[in-house]
Structure 1
Amino acid sequence: MAKISGKHVLLTAILYVYITAVAVTARLLPSELPLHPYLINGQHKPISKIYDTSKYGILQLGNGLANTPQMGWNSWNYFRCDFDEKVIKETVDALVTTGLAKLGYNYVNIDDCWAEPTRNSEGKIVPDSKSFPSGVKDLADYIHSKGLKLGIYSDAGLYTCQIRPGSLKHEYDDAALFASWGVDYLKYDNCFNLGIEPEERYPPMRDALNATGRTIFYSLCEWGVNNPALWASKIGNSWRTTDDIEDSWESMTTIADINNKWAAYAGPGGWNDPDMLEVGNGGMTFEEYRGHFSIWALMKAPLIIGCDVRNMTAETYDILTNEEVISVNQVFLNDLLTPPSSSVIFANEISSDPLGVQGKKVDSYGPDGCYQIWAGPLSEQRFVLALWNRCSKPSTITANWGAIGLESSTTVSVRDLWKHKYVSLNSATSFSAHVDAHACEMYILAPVAAARSAS
């Protein structure tokens, strides 16, 4: 097993101080669940029973990675097999110059088609000579020089999905090769698997990666066939819960619903993966893409960009760079904004979430349940709330406190994460908003902590 990094230990210590220092007065519904494993020494009240965290924190991989869901970029959704080292380097440059890298999009992941169709005479995978004439090591050095990390792709089968060499029965040799190149991330697919159960095929690569001595993020891409949320937490840092996403409203919403079922199994160290972002690829509207990004952030899903970041529209850039939405998904140790002046003191609405509980759909009503309320608990007794209109007409959607996990008498401030402003400083019992068709509005609810002294 790879050693837990000093950075991981430091982060744990920081979060300990951060969490135990918080004191707020919001009242949550009673719960029979045990305290969340990451709420140290019982300083927080238990999370409402709406959010089952009984499986949280069971990860045993122990490589010190994935304290938050991974962020980055992947070649597949936009380029498929039509890319080369020039495209990858230009993408790296674009991640840096647009500021995406500073926001946490730090993995640059090369998907299928990077390798020659066959292994060489020594049995090693060889980079495609036309697409990567300089080799993967040279590309890794370039990526690292920009402060980013390289991800690569292989398969837990005889071949990859695009008929390149897979790593089944070659795990230790391939892992050592990837490590020698400076690879930081492995996406491990599921094609041509000979019918061998995934619980048998995926652990050998975990052991092989750990044996290299290099810390490498391990992303299982089993497509949710054998319900990996039930077993993959002992094997990888994330696991695909669904089939491949497509750039359409139907695909995106279906995948969100499938991933929602496994909310109880995600947490720091290991995350449910509903596949990469399609934001910016052209198959959905701006409102649909904004909802896509909102729900993925709320579900603590990996935020892996799948568009051509060298040629983003302004709308795509605005979605992918929304720091307030990203903060729901990640741990930012510094506040993004200062709470407003008012006659009350608020818990910190804008700080990010070291809690790491996957949000979920908590209520729905209307035609076929298309007026949806998605929510999740955050640190400091805050909640993230998404009002998602999956109907074809605009509507007002109402979230009642009981559905979210708050007692009806609790008073909260409400910050709109897309408008970047407070829309209420004293909401109680429920919150309503007008939501356009196929749109999603997203908020942080933070409890009013105490009256400010008049003296």
Structure 2
Amino acid sequence: MKKIIWTILLGITFLGASAQKFDQLAKTPPMGWNSWNKFACNVSEKLIMQMADEMVSSGMQDAGYEYVVIDDCWQVDRDENGEIVVDKDRFPHGMKYVADYVHSKGLKFGIYSCAGSKTCAGRPGGRGHEFQDARTYASYGVDYLKYDWCNTTTQEAKSSYTTMRDGLFAAKRPIVFSLCEWGTAKPWEWAKEVGHLWRTTGDIVDRWDSMIDILDKEKDLAKYSGPGGWNDPDMLEVGNGGMTTEEYRTHFSLWCMLAAPLMAGNDLGNMSPETAEILKNAEVIALDQDVLGKQGFCYRDNGDYEIWIKKLANNEKAACLLNRSDEEKTVQVDYNVLLKANDNYWASEPYKLENYKLRDLWEHKEVSLEKSTVFVKMPPHSVKVYRFLKK
């Protein structure tokens, strides 16, 4: 009898140990590149390896981008043992070969699947094969898994994603787990115990209205985000042609204020100087990657003009002024107000303007604080991003 009880206890202990995520990953929002926004199903071994090369040669790697992620359409079937089958026409050397190449560049490798029976592009999904697929991905050398939510019918989101989480943990390779559930089941309320980032909305489209609509949906979610678990407003569209340079600068700034994962989605081998400047702005990226891990909040909403504040480590702060309107605006800016702005989640602190320097993060210059109140001209759909740096 004692032996039976001991066996049961061992089983419970084992299940408890395996039913968890890898908790030392994504301490800051993941940064990388994903194939979908630009190339959709037109993925191949040649393309992914080329993008890994471009990640290095373009300076994106030096700027902090490290994951090269293949989205949908790399898989075509399952074999007689249920193993996922790679498209041999597009990936003739197999997926481990591609992963090894990405790793040889000092980068990390990501892959895509779906919690349903089929992926969004109709390829074989992961339902019923979670532990098997997790072992396969580990054998490839995968570092990041994006897991979609198409063709899920009556599935319950939390349990479906939890099963995949347990499969990944059992496979014993640390893999960042990206839940792409589109926010329908409010993953911000439960996903921190399951994955490392979770989509909060439907897919982004390369248009101003789509991007700004997603921003609006993030306003009440700041308290759910932090090191090891991030709200994900979807991938970046910077450089794909549907917005102006000004709008892309705004898009990138807002994602950094949100402490969002920064997954570029453009053709890295064909970047304009303006696109490269936006994606590699080290001062703005530093807001996103700040170790405190606080998502910014909307401090003031005047309809077509907003002020977003992000608390940073070392009692520093970032402020983003947003002109949402279609017309140029001249706005009054009180630096004292920006520095002392607070929200419901953080205790007030005695910020004093004389203890700080102020940086304009797009003009890359220090701003005089001789006058605490100034007037600033803002083009349509533009931002001004400031950082209060401790002296």
With the length of structure 1 as denominator, give the TM-score of the two structures: 0.77
Structure 1 position 79 matched with structure 2 position 13:
no
> Residue in 2 aligned with 1:319?
278
Greater helix proportion: 2
1:20 paired residue number? none
Contact 1:260 1:299 in 2 (8 A): no
Identity of aligned residues (%): 48
Q: How does 1:52-451 map to 2 (within 5 A)?
A: 61-116=21-76, 118-330=77-289, 353-365=290-302, 369-400=303-334, 401-402=336-337, 404-405=341-342, 410-411=353-354, 412-426=356-370, 428=372, 430=373, 432-447=375-390
User: How many Å apart are 1:270 and its aligned residue?
Assistant: 0.5
CA contact (8 A) 1:414 1:427 kept: no
CA contact (8 A) 1:328 1:384 kept: yes
SS in 2 for 1:256: helix
| 1:168 match: secondary structure | coil
- How far residue 407 of structure 1 moved from its aligned partner, in angstroms, is 6.6
Residue equivalent to 1:6: none
Residue identity in the other structure for 2:270: N
Measure how far apart 1:62 and its partner are: 4.2
How big is the shift at 1:382? Answer: 1.1
Structure 2 unpaired stretches of 5+: 1-13, 15-19, 343-348
User: Do the aligned residues in 2 keep the contact of 1:413 with 1:426 (CA within 8 Å)?
Assistant: no
Question: Aligned pairs, how many?
Answer: 363
1:108 alignment partner, SS class: strand
Query: Normalization by structure 2: what TM-score?
Result: 0.89
- Provide the C-alpha distance between the structure 1 equivalents of 2:152 and 2:318, rounded to a whole number of angstroms: 40
Aligned partners of 1:413 and 1:427 also within 8 Å: no
Shift in alpha-carbon separation, 1:232–1:431, aligned structure 2, 3 A: farther
Asked if 2 retains the 8 angstrom alpha-carbon contact of 1:155 and 1:191, the reply is yes
Q: Distance in 1 between matches of 2:74 and 2:286?
A: 33
Q: Is the 8 A contact 2:206 2:242 kept in 1?
A: yes
The one-letter code matched in structure 1 to 2:299 is V
CA distance in 2, matches of 1:169, 1:431: 60
Whole-Å separation in 1 of the counterparts to 2:30 and 2:65: 8
The alpha carbon displacement at 1:398 in A equals 3.3
> How far off its partner does 1:200 sit?
1.3
CA RMSD in angstroms comes to 1.7
Distance in 2 of aligned mates of 1:123 and 1:407? 61
Per-residue CA deviation, residues 285-315 of structure 1 (Å, 9 max, x unaligned), is 0000000000001100000000000100110
| SS class of match (1:161) | coil
Contact preservation (8 Å) 1:388, 1:441? yes
- Distance in 2 between residues matched to 1:407 and 1:427, nearest whole Å: 20
- Gap regions ≥5 residues in structure 1: 2-59, 331-352, 450-455
SS at match of 1:374: strand
- Give me the whole-angstrom Cα distance separating, in 2, the residues matched to 1:396 and 1:402: 17
